[in-house]
Structure 1
Amino acid sequence: MPRPDVRRLLDYVNAAGPTELDIEIVRKSQDAAVEQADLPMGDLATVRDLEMPGGIRARLFDPRESREPGPVVLWLHGGGFVWGGVESHQSLCAQAARELDLPVVLVEYRLAPEAKFPAAQDDAETAARWLAGNPAELGREVRSLVLAGDSAGGLLTIVTAMALRDRPAAVGVDAHLVIYPVADESREYPSEREFAEGYLLTAAQRRWFREQYQPVPDDVRASPLLGDLTGLPPAVVMTAELDPVRDHGRAYAAALVSAGVPTVFQEAKGIVHAFVLMRGAVPSARADVSAALAALRGVTGTAA
């Protein structure tokens, strides 16, 4: 059952009807939705744009002007591989930087349909290896990485963690955080049928996202649950109870445990997909985001 603030949001969205599935309309409507539903970014000591190899855009968020050598968080945003970037997720990453007391680098990878599978995966790995190489542009010495992402960015986080396990970067990965990740394009899960309509992210939207991005279902970089998860860094996995991709996250957490990976699993009850971008319209979501970040602090050993 939806929480009261989630119920109000769903009533509003369902009454408005579906958005036309045209790429420019979807991008503009999602930008407008985040502007209305999310919180302001707030103040940080450091907010600075970065440019990575290949023209990949990124933004650094840090509650401190300078700091000692340590971990850096790489955040890979959601948006169905067709939408999102440094503007859509800057408030979320600012919260993460404050609550983790770590620098967070938000990466704006290439989007579909202009860049189809596996362009986003390639950009995510490129960004991680660039950060691990201690680029002077960052202005901070990187001793290790923490990988994080939501939705499509959750998939990219998993795939990047696998890539850096198989071919290590200049520094290691302490942990990875995935929030309502997509993890398996090779099959349909029960939650995809249970929450196909009326819970914000619809079956029609998910089909359209896949048509734009064109993932290869049996490729491990589209369906990491088909791959070997042994040896991945410790994980925090958070799902949303009323979410068509809920069971992807549940299955991923279970597979991590079976593979011997230290894993914290959390499920946000009574809430829907994309809640990390709705902390203004859905105030209860703020505690869920904070819970995931607190778990990540514990896993990385940086808890206050």
Structure 2
Amino acid sequence: MTESPYTRPDMKAFLDALAAVGGPALADMTLEEARQSYVALHAMADRPARDLAVIRDLTCPGPAGDIPLRLYDARESRDPGPLITFYHGGGFVIGDLETHHNLCTEIAALMDLPLIAVDYRRAPEHPFPAAIEDCEAATRWVASSPAELDRKATGIISMGDSAGGNATIVVGQVLGASPADVPIVLQVPIFPLASNAIGSDSLETFAEGHVLTKAAIEFFDAAYQADRTDPRGFPILGDHSNAPPTVVATASLDPIRDSGRDYAKALVEARRDVVYLEMQGVTHSFTNIRAAVPSTQSDLERIIGAMTLMLGSV
């Protein structure tokens, strides 16, 4: 008899509550319903946003028009230093600045660094590689220390969750080949899609009942239409020899867990500096359910600790 994977008590309580609520699956919703449900989930499950000295919306030029951004900073003014660029999750389909607002305030406060969240174009209206092109353009803009930020960048910390974790890795590869004005000094993909999850053990093991489902992944995949031969879609195919220092975080109950493991393994084999953290007993999106699953706040703080450690070695 196969033993069930370990699930934390507070995680199990949240999963049981979600199951009791019921409702249509993501793949059975309209696009607008799916986006609204994602906003509602994070509003219900995440900790409240922090009060920060600076929370300001702005834009930067992009390949298809202006890209909405949001600047977060615990301080009104800054000496030159690293800036965080954050790419939100949501399968490249349902996330936006609002779904990750609370999390971005927390990261900016805990790291005590400016953070610029990027509201890239979403599929299916704008399929692959539109999101990646926007993330690259926004990162290059931030790296140029534009007057609009009133902050001088000495380096970039690229960071994102899920689809944003994919973008984090891809931006690192693209800017490694064609550098921006300042380098990426650290990249932090959180439960990223790096390799094709279809057919992986984790996808089959956690196909249902663990926040992100196999059906939802297939829904996102069909909408985004990433080229399976293009490293900008599946960055495990890219060059890892020039990867910046990296913190990779996965969740043990995540259907795309094995994709993050694949990427961490590729970095080790390429002899790159990497810290790999797998959070035991929690699911995909653990960074955005910190009120409903209180133990996940400590998981986020472990990621922040690893980032601090890696920055100290740069």
Task: Tell me if 1:193 matches 2:201.
Answer: no
SS at match of 1:196: coil
Task: Tell me if 1:180 matches 2:191.
Answer: yes
Corresponding residue to 2:247 among 236, 239, 252: 236
What per-residue deviation string (whole Å, max 9, x for no partner) do you get for residues 229-252 of structure 1?
111100000000000000111110
Name 1:14's counterpart in structure 2. 19
Name 2:271's counterpart in structure 1. 260
AA partner of residue 28 (structure 1): Q
Corresponding residue to 1:225 among 224, 227, 236: 236
Name 1:4's counterpart in structure 2. 9
Return the alpha-carbon distance in structure 1 between the equivalents of residues 133 and 185 of structure 2.
21
AA partner of residue 37 (structure 1): A
Retained in 2: the 8 A contact 1:143–1:171? yes
AA partner of residue 121 (structure 1): I
SS at match of 1:271: coil
SS at match of 2:131: helix
Task: Tell me if 1:147 matches 2:155.
Answer: no
TM-score by length of structure 2 reads 0.94
Return the alpha-carbon distance in structure 2 between the equivalents of residues 18 and 302 of structure 1.
47
SS at match of 2:282: strand
Structure 2 residues not aligned, in runs of 5+: 1-5
- Percent identical pairs in the alignment equals 45
Name 2:287's counterpart in structure 1. 276
Return the alpha-carbon distance in structure 1 between the equivalents of residues 210 and 7 of structure 2.
9
Cα distance, 1:188 vs. partner?
A: 2.5
Return the alpha-carbon distance in structure 2 between the equivalents of residues 193 and 204 of structure 1.
11
Corresponding residue to 2:82 among 49, 71, 85: 71
Return the alpha-carbon distance in structure 1 between the equivalents of residues 77 and 197 of structure 2.
45
Cα distance, 1:80 vs. partner?
A: 0.6
Cα distance, 1:12 vs. partner?
A: 1.7
Return the alpha-carbon distance in structure 2 between the equivalents of residues 243 and 90 of structure 1.
23
TM-score by length of structure 1 reads 0.97
Return the alpha-carbon distance in structure 2 between the equivalents of residues 234 and 14 of structure 1.
39
Name 1:51's counterpart in structure 2. 59
Retained in 2: the 8 A contact 1:186–1:218? no
Name 2:174's counterpart in structure 1. 163
SS at match of 1:238: strand
Task: Tell me if 1:103 matches 2:108.
Answer: no
SS at match of 1:242: coil
Retained in 1: the 8 A contact 2:195–2:262? no
Extract structure 1 runs of 4+ deviating beyond 4 A. Answer: none
Cα distance, 1:83 vs. partner?
A: 1.2
Cα distance, 1:33 vs. partner?
A: 1.0
SS at match of 2:252: strand
Which segment is superposed worse, 84-93 or 118-127?
A: 84-93
Return the alpha-carbon distance in structure 1 between the equivalents of residues 268 and 66 of structure 2.
37
Structure 1 residues not aligned, in runs of 5+: none
Name 1:91's counterpart in structure 2. 102
- Number of equivalences: 303
Cα distance, 1:91 vs. partner?
A: 1.1
SS at match of 2:280: strand
